[in-house]
């Protein structure tokens, strides 16, 4: 029996019929005549030498409906940037590579920083922000998808399903979040979502009672999915975090800016696997440990904007409530794994829960110590107001880099 259940307050679009890729792409190609479609790919240079990205390129070069592909390249010197230009040249679609470490973009970044408008941290958030800026500056797409470059199980219909809800002119969705099962190599993955985010949201609901934001967040089947799509008008007022709270921060912004019926989630893959992060038991500034802290602070900040008052006592109660709910989830996932013939290590899962519970309190202390922290990158609307020629400068910098350094 197909899973057609609608849970929560956000529309879920299921993969009920295993519709053919040919049909999906035929419709998307038709949609693209009315609403041009694009794709953002935030990437590290090191990902060019992995198994995932070459396969993604091999698949993308045959996608017929994309009018634009924007690649954000981090941690690359000149020779590596030139290699990247050659690497991505297999794409027949209109595409540009943002050299975030190059002189032209660094000069623009410096001018933005002098006005307090530049992202303060190097990472995915900054990379995505500049890519979004270039999409707005180039005006070559009206609906855009974004996904990571480390997807090991990438297939062509993942992108088609991700874009469809914001590409179809008969749908009124402004934003769409992808979701999928996190099962690979005979075991369940997705520990941060399974054992931290969902139990944390449930714990907050138990402590604070009915809350529209928490109900909204609990509606997403995989809130940490790095795959989403949107109409480009969404990007103008979007404020995104520069840390690991990016995915949660984007959802929070969608909750702030749009009615629930303008948002949806879509099933984009039967099987999904990507590069895994270590738990980082000894280092709170790395891996899943840092991720859980950044996510916690992102949620606390959002709750504070709604008038929720936090204290040390609140965080102690939250830790205890979270711990009980999360440990119950460990048992639930153990039974689910056994039922499906998957390996499940209760000790490792409970150890992760204990680390997450400690990080929850640590994040709460950091939040109380620095309530004035501004983790969001300014919206492009604000940046344009302060620097009216920013889009021209950004577009020129990217296009001049691509033209000058492309190996003839």
Contact 199, 324 (CB under 8 A): no
User: Please, are residues 124 and 22 in contact by the beta-carbon 8 Å criterion?
Assistant: no
Residues with Cβ within 8 Å of residue 370, at least 6 apart in sequence: none
Q: Which of 128, 172, 134, 40 is nearest to 376 (CA)?
A: 128
Tell how far CA 305 is from the center of its chain: 22
Note whether 319 and 360 are within 8 A (CB): yes
Q: What is the pLDDT of residue 1?
A: 38
Q: How far is CA 351 from CA 87, 164, 240, 369, in A?
A: 41, 40, 31, 27
The answer to whether the CB of 65 falls within 8 A of the CB of 29 is: yes
Is the CB of residue 303 less than 8 Å from the CB of residue 333? no
Neighbours of 172 (CB within 10 A): 13
Q: How far apart are CA 361 and CA 31, in angstroms?
A: 48
Neighbours of 317 (CB within 10 A): 14
User: What pLDDT does residue 285 have?
Assistant: 61
Owner of token pair 């202390």:
365
- Do residues 218 and 198 lie in contact, with contact meaning Cβ atoms separated by under 8 Å? yes
377 phi/psi in degrees, rounded to 5: -75, 135
Alpha-carbon distance of 287 to 125, in angstroms, equals 16
Note whether 197 and 322 are within 8 A (CB). no
Instruction: For residue 345, give the nearest of 182, 200, 188 by alpha carbon.
Output: 188
**Which of left, alpha, beta for 162 (phi over 0: left; psi -120 to 50: alpha)?**
alpha
- Rounded to 5°, the CA angle 213-315-323 comes to 85
371-388 per-residue burial string, b: 16 or more CB within 10 A, e: under 16: eeeebbbbbbeebbeebe
Give me the tens of pLDDT residue by residue for the chain, a chain 408 residues long. 357 889 899 999 999 998 999 999 999 999 999 999 999 999 999 999 999 999 999 999 999 999 999 999 999 999 999 999 999 999 999 999 999 999 999 999 999 999 999 998 888 999 999 999 999 999 999 999 999 999 999 999 999 999 999 999 999 999 999 999 999 889 999 999 999 999 999 999 999 998 999 999 999 999 999 999 999 999 999 998 876 678 999 999 999 999 999 999 999 998 898 876 666 656 566 678 888 998 999 899 889 988 999 999 999 999 999 999 999 999 999 999 999 999 999 999 999 999 999 999 999 999 999 876 766 899 999 999 999 999 999 999 999 999 999 876
> What's the CA gap between 38 and 143, in Å, rounded?
6
Contact 66, 58 (CB under 8 A): no
pLDDT of residue 290: 87
């Amino acid at each position: 029996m197909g899973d057609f259940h609608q849970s929560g307050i956000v529309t879920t679009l299921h993969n009920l019929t295993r519709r053919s890729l040919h049909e999906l792409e035929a419709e998307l190609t038709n949609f693209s005549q009315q609403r041009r479609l694009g794709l953002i790919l935030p990437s590290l240079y090191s990902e060019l030498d992995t198994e995932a990205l070459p396969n993604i390129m091999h698949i993308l070069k045959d996608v017929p409906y994309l009018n634009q592909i924007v690649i954000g390249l981090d941690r690359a010197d000149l020779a590596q940037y030139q290699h990247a230009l050659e690497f991505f040249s297999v794409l027949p679609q209109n595409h540009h590579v943002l050299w975030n470490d190059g002189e032209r973009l660094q000069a623009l970044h410096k001018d933005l920083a002098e006005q307090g408008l530049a992202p303060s941290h190097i990472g995915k958030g900054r990379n995505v922000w500049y890519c979004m800026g270039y999409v707005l500056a180039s005006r070559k797409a009206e609906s855009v998808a974004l996904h990571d470059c480390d997807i090991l199980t990438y297939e062509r219909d993942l992108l088609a399903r991700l874009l469809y809800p914001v590409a179809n002119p008969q749908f009124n969705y402004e934003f769409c979040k992808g979701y999928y099962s996190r099962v690979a190599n005979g075991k369940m993955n997705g520990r941060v979502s399974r054992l931290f985010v969902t139990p944390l949201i449930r714990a907050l609901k138990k402590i604070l009672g009915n809350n529209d934001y928490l109900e909204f967040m609990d509606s997403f089947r995989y809130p940490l999915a790095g795959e989403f799509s949107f109409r480009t008008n969404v990007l103008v007022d979007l404020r995104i975090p520069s840390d690991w709270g990016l995915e949660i921060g984007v959802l929070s912004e969608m909750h702030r800016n749009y009615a629930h019926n303008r948002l949806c989630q879509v099933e984009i893959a039967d099987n999904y696997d990507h590069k895994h992060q270590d738990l980082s038991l000894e280092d709170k500034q790395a891996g899943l440990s840092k991720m859980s802290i950044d996510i916690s602070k992102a949620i606390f900040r959002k709750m504070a904007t709604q008038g929720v008052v936090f204290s040390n006592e609140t965080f102690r109660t939250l830790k205890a409530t979270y711990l009980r709910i999360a440990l119950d989830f460990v048992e639930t996932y153990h039974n689910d794994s056994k039922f499906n013939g998957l390996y499940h290590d209760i000790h490792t899962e409970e150890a992760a829960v204990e680390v997450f519970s400690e990080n929850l309190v640590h994040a709460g202390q950091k939040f109380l110590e620095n309530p004035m922290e501004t983790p969001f990158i300014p919206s492009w609307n604000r940046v344009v107001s302060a620097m009216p020629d920013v889009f021209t400068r950004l577009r020129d910098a990217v296009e001049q880099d691509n033209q000058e350094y492309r190996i003839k």
